[in-house]
Amino acid sequence: MKRIISILIENKPGALARVVGLFHQRGYNIETLNVGPVFDGSFSRMTVTTRGSENDVEQITKQINKIIDVIKVSDLTEGDHHEYEFIMIKFKHSEKIQKILKSLNGKIHEKNNDAMVMSAWGSSSDIEAAIKSMGKVNLLEVARSGSIGLHEGEKVLKI
């Protein structure tokens, strides 16, 4: 099962590598990874998506929690949550692709004689489906942010 793990971590050199390294050491795969500074900039928030059983995720969150720089860890998939992913795509003019992206909050950033750059966002499953349905022919380049997400309701990841 797909899991979305949110991690609040000290924004310090090497901290990110400790988390990423740990997935590998403990035999888990990272499917997507997103990170950026939050609050006063002394924290970072990471979102990692991975696959695993209930037990796997319990073990991995416990292990992440042990990293000294990690402040909080939460498995968003454990409860109700919001989850989105942002993509940017460069493609040869294609009505089809334009239409698909439009349906995902699409925005045009660049348009020239033979290619376009557009962005879009949506749930990662919608994004996944969209990319699949675009076909390979006109697609030049895809960049994905990886999932980010928040708990629904009052639950927050904060010190």
Query: Judged by CB under 8 A, which stretch of 9-17, 33-41, 81-89, 130-138 contacts other proteins?
Result: 9-17
Q: Residue with structure tokens 């292990």? A: 63
Q: Is the CB of residue 21 less than 8 Å from the CB of residue 64?
A: no
**Smallest gap from residue 9 Cβ to other proteins (A):** 8
29, 36, 66, 82: which one contacts other proteins (CB under 8 A)? 66
Ranges of beta strands (E only) in the chain are 2-10, 32-38, 43-51, 70-75, 81-92, 107-111, 115-122, 139-151
Listed residue (121, 85, 125) closest to 103, CA to CA: 121
2, 18, 144, 155: which one contacts other proteins (CB under 8 A)? 18
**Smallest gap from residue 62 Cβ to other proteins (A):** 4
Coil/strand/helix, residue 21 = helix
5, 46, 48, 70: which one contacts other proteins (CB under 8 A)? 70
Element holding 54 (H helix, E strand): helix 54-66
Determine, following the binding rule CB under 8 A, whether residue 58 of this chain makes contact with other proteins.
yes
Q: Is the CB of residue 57 less than 8 Å from the CB of residue 75?
A: yes
Determine, following the binding rule CB under 8 A, whether residue 158 of this chain makes contact with other proteins.
no
**Smallest gap from residue 63 Cβ to other proteins (A):** 5
**For other proteins, the closer CB: 36 or 135:** 36
27, 36, 51, 62: which one contacts other proteins (CB under 8 A)? 62
Determine, following the binding rule CB under 8 A, whether residue 10 of this chain makes contact with other proteins.
yes
Q: Is the CB of residue 5 less than 8 Å from the CB of residue 150?
A: no
Backbone region of residue 157 per phi and psi (left: phi > 0; alpha: psi in -120 to 50; beta: other values): beta
Binding site for other proteins (CB under 8 A): 9-10, 13-14, 17-18, 21-22, 25, 55, 58-59, 62-63, 65-66, 68-71, 159
